Amino acid sequence: MSNTILVGAQWGDEGKGKIIDVLTEQADIVVRTQGGNNAGHTVLVGSKKYVLHLVPSGILRRSKKCIIGNGVVIDPVSLVEEVDGLLKLGVKVNGNLFISETAHVVFPYHRELDAQREILKGKNKIGTTKRGIGPAYGDKAARTGMRIIDLVNPSRFEALLRFKIKENNEILKAFGAAPLSFQKVHAAYRKSGDRLRPFVANTVVLLHEAMGRGADILFEGAQGTFLDIDHGTYPYVTSSNTTAGGACTGSGVPPNHMDRVVGVMKAYTTRVGEGPFPSENAAIADMLHNMGREFGATTGRARRCGWFDSVVTGQATMVNGIDDLAVTNVDGLDTLDSIRVCVGYRVGTKRYDYIPNDIELRSKCEPVYVEFPGWKTPTDRARKWKDLPAKARAYLRAIAELTGAKLTIVSVGPAREQTIFL
């Protein structure tokens, strides 16, 4: 039995979905433990492209079980749409997906409040996905949320929703936004509640029973380390613990049952939304966008792009306890003459080897770069480590060493076969 936590080591979109899909081959169960449908995990299987938001990427392998854990916030209408979309594409979603009774529910007032708060913030906005994630976790922490177990109990749900709509319409009124209709929300949520009821389970007990039988579990992280509510670049973060600890609290599997942490990182850096990004680079962004790459899977926004930043990934190793590294999108750098890596920040004469917590200081950070020669050879056909150009191997060894973990997977394209195991 072996349990593996997979986390993003940067600001999300590291290619977690692709790596999860590859690693699922060796697992029995895949669990999502935090976040909601703000996540967008793209997986290519053959010529088919799947974009998963709430359903674990493990669903694409028919014999595996998938769990949406207690730490996730679920928009049930959106989840039903996602399940229906997967069914249409021929994916099995029957008897292999389980939803935690205690996961919290995202409501239209959460989405509306998310949008209204962003408008009010103006130029200081976070650039959220407007999926209601912050307000839904806010309700959970304030103990005013509703859980899946409430959604699937019609009489309790009606009473709770009546109160919540009344309360939130008062708040929306204060924002100058239109109130929500109880009837409309109730009808849509009752319908999705009925659809989801067969999937709902005590997933903590289910996971522990499976572990008792020796099951191998993969914990699929969403977002990335620097979007973590505690360890990220606050307030430009999401509202959950995206770091390894979130896999424990979000599933009920304790830390002493975890065996390995895999960190996924791109060979460069991207970020969607606002917030600090010291190694951001317009030329890299243009190059990648012109290749049709780096557009968000959830909102379609162009991702901000920049050089690889080992201050970021080194700190990710520290807070997640990353053992193994999967480096993706190596092929994105194939055409460059020379490649920079940020190894520290400078503010005036002072050097920082970590991301300062002070917002003003953070915004003043100038990257300190080291330079690597580009390999200027396509890597997308490499299937073994020795197939990679020597300069690419040197670059990958260097960024893994700077990150402080063992390089075990290299990805040179979105497809399953474009994966090299070291």
Q: Which of 21, 41, 53, 104 is catalytic?
A: 41
41 is catalytic: yes
User: What residues contact 291, with CB distance under 8 A and at least 6 apart?
Assistant: 332
Residue tagged active-site, from 13, 228, 324, 331: 13
Site for Mg ion in 168-227 (CB under 5 A): none
132 binds, among ligand IMO, Mg ion, ligand GDP, none (CB under 5 to 8 A by kind): none
Instruction: By CB under 5 A, tell whether 56 contacts Mg ion.
Output: no
Q: Is 13 a residue that touches Mg ion (CB under 5 A)?
A: yes
Site string for ligand GDP, 307-346 (x = CB under 6 A): ---------------------xx-x---------------
Residue 273 found at the interface with Mg ion (CB under 5 A): no
DSSP string, 239-283: SS--STHHHHHTTT--GGG--EEEEEEESSEEE-SSS--TTB-HH
Residue 56 interacting entry, from Mg ion, ligand GDP, ligand IMO, none, C-beta within 5 to 8 Å by type: none
CA dihedral over 380, 384, 387, 392, signed as positive or negative: positive
Q: Taking CB under 6 A as the rule, does residue 68 contact ligand IMO?
A: no
Would you say 3 or 128 has its CB closer to Mg ion? 128
Report which of 161, 167, 134 is spatially closest to residue 147, judged by C-alpha positions: 161
40 interacts with ligand IMO by CB under 6 A? yes
Give the closest residue to 6 by CA, choosing from 213, 233, 215, 217.
217
Measured in degrees and rounded to the nearest 5, phi and psi for residue 278 equal: -55, -35
The binder of 133, among Mg ion, ligand GDP, ligand IMO, none, by C-beta within 5 to 8 A per type, is ligand IMO
Residue 385, exposed/middle/buried by CB under 10 A (0-12, 13-18, 19+)? middle
* Cβ 267 vs Cβ 388: under 8 Å: no
Instruction: Sketch the per residue contact string, 297 through 336, with Mg ion: x for CB under 5 A, - otherwise.
Output: x---------------------------------------
| Tokens of residue 29, six digits | 């169960």
Query: Which distant-in-sequence residues (6+ apart) come within 8 Å of 163 by Cβ?
Result: none
Q: Nearest to residue 31, comparing CAs of 191, 168, 207?
A: 207
Give which of Mg ion, ligand IMO, ligand GDP, none residue 15 binds (C-beta under 5 to 8 Å, depending on kind): ligand GDP
Report, in Å, the least distance between residue 191 CB and ligand GDP. 29
| Residues with catalytic function | 13, 41
Note the residues at the interface with ligand IMO (CB under 6 A). 8, 12-13, 38-41, 126-129, 131, 133-134, 222-224, 227, 238-239, 272-273
